[in-house]
Each structure stands twice: as structure tokens, then as C-alpha cells.
Amino acid sequence: MPDATLVEAINFALARAMQDDQRVLILGEDVGKDGGVFRATDGLLARFGPARVLDTPLAEVAIAGVCVGLAAQGFRPVAEIQFMGFAYATIDQLLNHAARLRSRTRGRLTCPMVLRTPCGAGIHAPEHHSESGEACFTNIPGLRVVIPSSPQRGYGLLLAAIRDPDPVVFLEPTRLYRATREPIMDDGTALPLDRCFTLREGNDVTLVGWGGVTREMLSAAERLAAEGTEAEVIDVATLVPLDAETILASVAKTGRCVICHEAPLTGGFGAEIAAQLAGPGLLSMLAPVERVTGYDTIVPLSRLERHYLPSADRILAAVRRTLSHG
């Protein structure tokens, strides 16, 4: 059972899916000879050949459109878009075709495609390379949006996404690609989609987030524990469809919630979770919901990134505000 980083776990999952199912194809810019911009597809061309690992032109709309056609004809294409900021062009194909194909054909056709892209800040990349635009995809009915936050979840969730009969946008936090290592059992076992993962149990406050901020939530929870406050930490993992039941059950226990994400505050997916808490979760709340997020600006360049990203200190301050009520 080798230890693997997130990007290595993604590579393992892609190789396992291609080994197990001849219909799985990989396509994207530089995914073949160069092994992908972050080397997520390294070695796959040599192992599976150019008929299944296809280097494409610099044309994100075309990549997504080809995936729709391949999926409609029985293949299971996995596209890589080099950076999140380049993925917005694919929304045309995802919204108008991929996500509608099952409904449009009354179930006669489905669209089992996966669109992978790195997302988020933290590696001092220039504009367009550090976006957290997941909310753009969560408002597309018929589309799953998945964000792993560890090597084990990256491996299991990507396998589940590739095997799913409907389209999935699979967002991979760039700053987590090589941040940690975990043992990976490369046995083809998938993890369930549409479920939150409870990373730490607690009774005093619920921390909810996804992607890169999970490390900051866990760090904040450890510091709170040293002060006698036990935080429950929930990794949403699949934003759409949202496992609201797990979040509501946690807040029913703790009475307090801090929602964390690095996307901008306004229109961020955290607002949907807050709306769930303001509806069926309202009577459980002992304090107003807090949100710790990125700011309503373009991600700043270089060292200014650390002021933009949610930190453990900002999460701790939000927790203390919730604890000040009652």
C-alpha cells in the first residue's frame, strides 16, 4: 500500500479506470507526451497508447464538445482542463448539452463524462490559474460537482465520477496536489458520491467546507480543542447534489456553524448551505451562521494570496463570534 500525494492518487485512479474499462479515454492539452501540466496523467500514454490518451489543440470548448459526443456514443471520456480559469469556456457544452442529454432524450442517452481541472490558489500562479469558480457549475441542473481534499478521497471519488452515468465536474485543489501523503490501496474501490465526510467529531460548533480549506478547518479544530472547544469538521466533497442531511444533523447537535471556502463571498456555494440552515436547520441554531471565504476580488498575485485565502486564524475568529451568542 504505497503512500501517495493527491496528484499521484489521481494518476492511480485514472490508470485503474482505464485498466478496468476499455471505454475510458483521456483527452486534453498536453495530457499525453508531457503527462499533464501537473503530471496527473504521467505515464498513461506509454501504458495505454495514443488511441486512448489524446493530446488536443488549445480549445477548451472543443474538448468538452468532443467529450459529449464520445459519451453519447458509449465511451467514458475524462477531459483535463489545465486551469480552472480556462474551464469557464466549457460551460457552453456542459450546460447546453452534457447536463441536458438525459432529459433531452428521455433517458435514451446519458453523458458519462468527467471534466477534471485544478482549482484554487496557493501556488503563486498568475491570473486565471488560481480561480475557485465552483459556484458557476453548481447552478447547472444535471451536473455533479465534486472536490476532493485528500489523496484517499481523490482516488475514490474520481473512480466514482468516472463510473457515474451522468456528467461530473471534478475539481482538484492545486495547493493540495503535493501537500500531504496518505496510504492508497489501489484496488479500484470507489467512494460514494453525494455524501459529506465527517473528518472530526465535536459537540460545540460545526465547521463546513471543501477543497483546500479543509486543512485550515482541521488546524483550527485542533487549536480549539486545546482551549476546550470541540469542533465537528465536515468535508462536503460533493457540492451537487448536496448532502444537506449530514450538515443539518451536525448542526442539530452543535447549534453553531462556520462555513469555509476560498471562492468569493458573494454568490459562493456557502450561501446555499447557509440557506439550508436558515430553513430546515433554523430551530437548531444557537447563533448566526458565519462564513469565512475569499474576497469579492480577483485572486491577487504572488505573496498577497495568503491574505486572500481563508486561514485558521480567520476561522477561529468566526468560531469565537458564534460562541459569543448564548
Active-site annotation, residues: 129
Distance CA 163, CA 21 (A): 9
Distance CA 118, CA 121 (A): 10
- Collect all residues with Cβ–Cβ distance below 8 Å to 58 and sequence separation of at least 6: 29
CB atoms within 10 A of CB 62: 14
**Quick check: 241 and 269 in contact, CB under 8 A?**
no
CB atoms within 10 A of CB 282: 10
Distance CA 152, CA 155 (A): 5
What does 158-189 look like in DSSP terms, one character per residue? HHHHHHSSS-EEEEEEGGGTTT--EE---S-P
Q: Is the peptide bond preceding residue 50 cis, with omega within 30 degrees of 0?
A: no
Closest C-alpha among 209, 112, 239 to residue 168: 112
